[in-house]
Amino acid sequence: MGIEFEMKYSAEPAQQEAVLAAYPLEYQTFQMETTYFDTPDSALSHRHITLRRRMENDASVCTVKTPVSTYGRGEWECECEDIEQAIPKLCKLGADEALLSLTAAGVVPVCGARFTRQAGVVTFRESQLEIALDRGILSGGGQEMPLCEIEVELKSGSPEDAVAFGALLAQRFGLVPQKRSKFRRALALAKGENI
């Protein structure tokens, strides 16, 4: 199984600039345009499953994320132009085959995000961590809201190192932990819920 382990922090542009200055890494820049999908009866979101297609610069990447009982989330992805064609490929990679029956009647776009990501890898203790600075918008239900956050994602090593580094960043730069994923915030926007 692919496991994603990351922490998110709400940020202001000035805080992002301060992090960039403090960690002069070899940052790569990505233009991201994400569409999140669900079944018409919301079967995926009710099970805390995220299904998305994201344009990462010129690459179309389809991803499924699922809850797991340990740290992080299950995550599988493949390059594919069409989300419905990607679903069986994601299952072959290891995603739960229940996804096939859950999405048999098709999926529909429910919300999205457009943002620029600057990402670089830092070594902390025995671990490799990605610092990602995202700035753009979340969209849903004809509404938009600004997105400005910093992610710390474990690439290799221990979750404990990632937690410690995230706490260090939060303390040093006054960052506030963001408990909800981009999808959950965009979905709340689509539903007209408070975010």
Q: Give every CB contact of residue 108 below 8 A, 6+ residues apart in sequence.
A: 37, 38, 39, 40
Residues 22-34 have pLDDT tens digits of 999 999 999 999 9
pTM for the whole thing?
0.94
Angstrom distances, CA of residue 109 to CA of 76, 94, 96, 130, 188: 19, 23, 21, 29, 14
Phi then psi dihedrals of residue 130, to 5 deg: -95, 130
Please, what is the average pLDDT of the chain? 95
pLDDT digits (tens, 9 = 90+) for 126-144: 999 999 999 999 999 999 9
Token pair recorded at residue 11 = 């940020």
Predicted local distance difference test score (pLDDT) of residue 194: 78
Per-residue pLDDT at 4 exceeds 60: yes
Residues in the chain: 195
User: Tokens in use for 2?
Assistant: 């692919």
Q: pLDDT tens for residues 139-190?
A: 999 999 999 999 999 999 999 999 999 999 999 999 999 999 999 999 999 9
State the Cα angle at 169 between 36 and 54, rounded to 5°: 15
Q: How far apart are CA 83 and CA 104, in angstroms?
A: 13
